[in-house]
Amino acid sequence: MRFDINVVYILILGCEIAFWALLFCGFSVRYLLNKKRLSFYILASVPLVDLMLLVFVIFDLNGGQSATFAHGLATAYIGFTIAFGQKLIAWADRVFASKVLGTDITNTVLTGWGAVIDDFKLWARCIFAVAIMDVLLILITGFVNDPSKTQALEIWFKIPFFTVFFWFIFGPLWSLVFFKRTPKS
């Protein structure tokens, strides 16, 4: 029995681990060692993880490999980390600071129009992530310039539309339909 693992899947997993490791190191340096400048540089290196994954995907395809589902997944990963990375880092920073410094995290539950607007903003980030992914797919397909090797990437032009559609249904539309009124005091 032969068991093939596409190296791109391993790299995507490695990038996710590197993302969280860089966050942990950056916040540790900031809050435990009180070195804000070094922390800034560590956290600023987070996008380099995505860049390395993109470079590997391009070289992998340009080196003769045919595209697989994993190559498209890599572009989706990059798109979503670019679109949601800053928001995720800000959230992780608040959580880390609260654990280390003992500060209280103010988790305000949005109600009313605030919740609806927030869901629309998240949905807009989803659309932005899909746009980044589509641009990367177009650039990769153009760079490789061999339709027989990039045919497997075509599905990745369709999958994100379902993501955007369902995100809208269960995000902004859901908030709008099941509108939570602000409690009266």
Tell me the pLDDT of the chain averaged across its residues: 85
pLDDT of 106 higher than 80: no
Confidence of residue 136 (pLDDT cuts 50, 70, 90): very high
What is the crossing angle of helices 36-44 and 7-31, to 10°? 170
pLDDT of 1 higher than 50: no
Residue 45 tokens read as: 């290196």
- pLDDT tens-digit profile of 51-104? 888 888 888 887 778 888 888 888 999 999 999 988 988 888 888 888 887 777
- Res 5: pLDDT: 66
Q: Give the whole-angstrom CA distance, residue 86 versus residue 175.
A: 24
* Whole-number percent of the chain with pLDDT over 90: 28
Nearest Cα neighbor of 118 from 160, 179, 76, 164 is 179
Give the DSSP H or E segment for 62. Answer: helix 46-62
Give the mean pLDDT of 21-43: 91
Least confident window among 4-8, 148-152, 159-163: 4-8
- Res 129: pLDDT: 95
Dihedral (C-alpha) 37, 40, 41, 44: value to the nearest 10 degrees? -160
What's the pTM? 0.81
